[in-house]
């Protein structure tokens, strides 16, 4: 089997998970380089990696560059992506910078993997919330034609980075000790024992930038005709995004027919009374954390329409929402002979 030289750019929460996923999936590595702002050792699951400074020369000989990304502007892929591509690497970016660029494929392999064959050197990972949503929405859209979706999210703090997990722990300790919270840890209000619907910048028509990402990315990857209404909420959970989804469909849909479709969907695991997972009958963040499958349950037909349905979906936002999806993109490129970019 041919082996590949891979660079992971970023040594934070997502970068660490990229290293972990590459190892867990036995990715055919000839060499793994870990790059970040500063040189230092990084220990992941007992193995020490030498983190090198990110420079253009650090991409010499690299086949795939996995950029851990940032949700802000001008992430590492903006600074170093073109240099990596010029040296022969394919860049897979988990940041937000290139997602809506019409020349850049935005991909979840199970949803629109064919879009990869026309890449020109850079591929974008979707927002973690969108990735988890589409694992359930896409198979149902193909089978029944989704006209409209109303989505409410329950998003883990790790979506805001490793420091957000530390902030949740610190605030929780203070609340339990009866002490005042003096450090919000980057959140607009305390997150411990609280939920925040104001965690993101409010933009056009009163929707947050996170809500707009779900709408725009779903339209780009799945179908621009789907009408979406999204409310994103941050909850005091470390890892694992949950999403409550109601859909209206073109064809009649029932809980039984939807369950049958989802049970066959790649990357999906139905969790309910008929198919418990580890003795649990409903998807939960702690059940989804560290799992490759996206978990779907609470599938139920609408009480007033035979063309509507509700379901609950939970996925590891650091895995399927970021690191795992990026590695799966690389695997799909290799499996189909698409690693070499289109001129």
Catalytic residues: 128, 241
Beta strands (DSSP E) in 95-249 are 122-124, 146-154, 227-231, 241-249
DSSP count for the chain of H helices, then E strands: 9, 13
Distance in angstroms (rounded) separating the CA atoms of residues 283 and 300: 14
What is the torsion angle, in degrees rounded to the nearest 10, for the CA atoms of residue 35, residue 36, residue 42 and residue 44? Answer: -70
How far is Cα 118 from Cα 121, in angstroms, rounded to an integer?
9
DSSP assigned state of 341: P
Place of tokens 């591509």: 85
Q: How far is it, in rounded angstroms, from Cα 84 to Cα 105?
A: 17
Which residue, among 297, 317, 96, 117, has the nearest Cα to 212 in the 3D structure? 96
Q: How is residue 276 written in tokens?
A: 């418990």
For residues 238 and 156, the answer to whether their CB atoms sit within 8 Å is yes
Q: What are phi and psi of 245, to 5 degrees?
A: -125, 130
Residue 189: what are its φ and ψ, rounded to 5°?
A: -145, 170
């Amino acid at each position: 089997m041919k082996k590949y030289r891979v660079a992971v750019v970023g040594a934070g929460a997502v970068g660490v998970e990229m290293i972990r996923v590459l190892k867990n999936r036995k990715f055919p590595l000839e060499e793994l380089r870990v790059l970040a702002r500063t040189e230092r050792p990084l220990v992941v699951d007992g193995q020490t990696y030498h983190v090198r400074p990110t420079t253009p020369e650090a991409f010499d000989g690299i086949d795939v560059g996995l950029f851990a990304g940032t949700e802000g502007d001008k992430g590492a892929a903006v600074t170093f992506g073109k240099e990596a591509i010029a040296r022969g690497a394919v860049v897979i970016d988990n940041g937000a910078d290139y997602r809506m660029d019409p020349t850049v494929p935005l991909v979840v392999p199970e949803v629109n993997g064919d879009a990869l064959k026309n890449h020109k050197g850079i591929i974008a990972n979707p927002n973690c919330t969108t990735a988890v949503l589409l694992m359930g929405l896409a198979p149902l859209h193909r089978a029944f034609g989704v006209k409209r979706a109303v989505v409410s999210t329950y998003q883990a703090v790790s979506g805001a980075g490793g420091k957000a997990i530390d902030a949740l722990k610190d605030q929780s300790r203070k609340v339990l000790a009866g002490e005042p919270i003096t450090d919000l840890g980057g959140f607009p209000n305390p997150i411990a024992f609280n939920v925040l619907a104001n965690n993101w910048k409010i933009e056009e028509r009163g929707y947050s930038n996170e809500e707009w990402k779900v709408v725009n990315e779903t339209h780009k990857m799945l179908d621009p005709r789907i009408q979406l209404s999204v409310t994103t909420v941050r909850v005091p959970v470390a890892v694992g995004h949950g999403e409550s989804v109601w859909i209206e469909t073109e064809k009649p849909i029932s809980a039984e027919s939807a369950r049958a479709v989802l049970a066959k969907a790649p990357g999906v695991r139905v969790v309910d009374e008929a198919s418990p997972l580890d003795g649990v009958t409903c998807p939960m963040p702690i059940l989804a954390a560290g799992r490759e499958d996206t978990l779907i349950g609470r599938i139920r037909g609408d009480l007033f329409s035979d063309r509507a349905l509700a379901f609950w979906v939970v996925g590891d936002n650091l895995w399927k929402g970021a690191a795992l999806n990026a590695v799966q993109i690389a695997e799909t490129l290799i499996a189909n002979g698409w690693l070499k970019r289109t001129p």
